[in-house]
Amino acid sequence: MRRIDDSLSVSPQIGPADVTEIARAGFTTIINNRPDGEETDQPEGDAIRTAAETLGLDYAEIPVTSAGFSHAQVNAMRAALDGAKGPVFAYCRSGTRSTNLWALAEAKAGGDPDTIVAKARAAGYDLTAIRPMLDALAGAR
């Protein structure tokens, strides 16, 4: 798990058994940014959803494929982040898509691209490839 800031941490793929520790760590929402079936041995999102909801956590599924990011996905991420009752835990295959989608949602909400890039870099993620999109989204407000 890598902490982006007080409101978000990201990680590679989790399984249903990991949800208990995520809840114990104080997270209130899990966001799944990985499409089902990306790899044959990956846990299904519904199994993680069931574990999360059993423990009282909110769960959102915003899958990102190799096709890239859409405005609908950015808006869904923003809505999930804004609706969270506490810290959010997002995952995908490596944590990169979750970080990128968070960054785009932050920029669209008026976040400063330099601050967004710095937070991601501190967690070990490079946003160079999406920096022009961050600047465009932040400037569109």
Q: Taking 70 as the threshold, does the pLDDT of residue 141 lie above it?
A: no
pLDDT at residue 5, rounded to an integer: 97
The fourth-level CATH superfamily of domain 2-139 is Protein tyrosine phosphatase superfamily (3.90.190.10)
The residue-averaged pLDDT of 107-122 equals 97
Token readout for 25 is 């760590």
Sheet holding 29-32, edge to edge: 2-5, 8-11, 88-91, 29-32, 58-61
Looking at residue 59, what DSSP letter applies? E
Please state, for a pLDDT cut of 70, what percent of the chain lies above it: 99
> Would the pLDDT of 140 be above 80?
no
Kindly report, residue by residue over 30-47, the tens digit of the pLDDT: 999 999 999 999 999 999
Nearest to 27 by CA among 91, 95, 79, 110: 91
Mean pLDDT of 55-64: 97
Residue 124: its pLDDT value, please?
97
Nearest to 100 by CA among 4, 26, 1, 19: 4
Where are the domains positioned within the chain? 2-139
Q: How far apart are CA 76 and CA 64, in angstroms?
A: 11
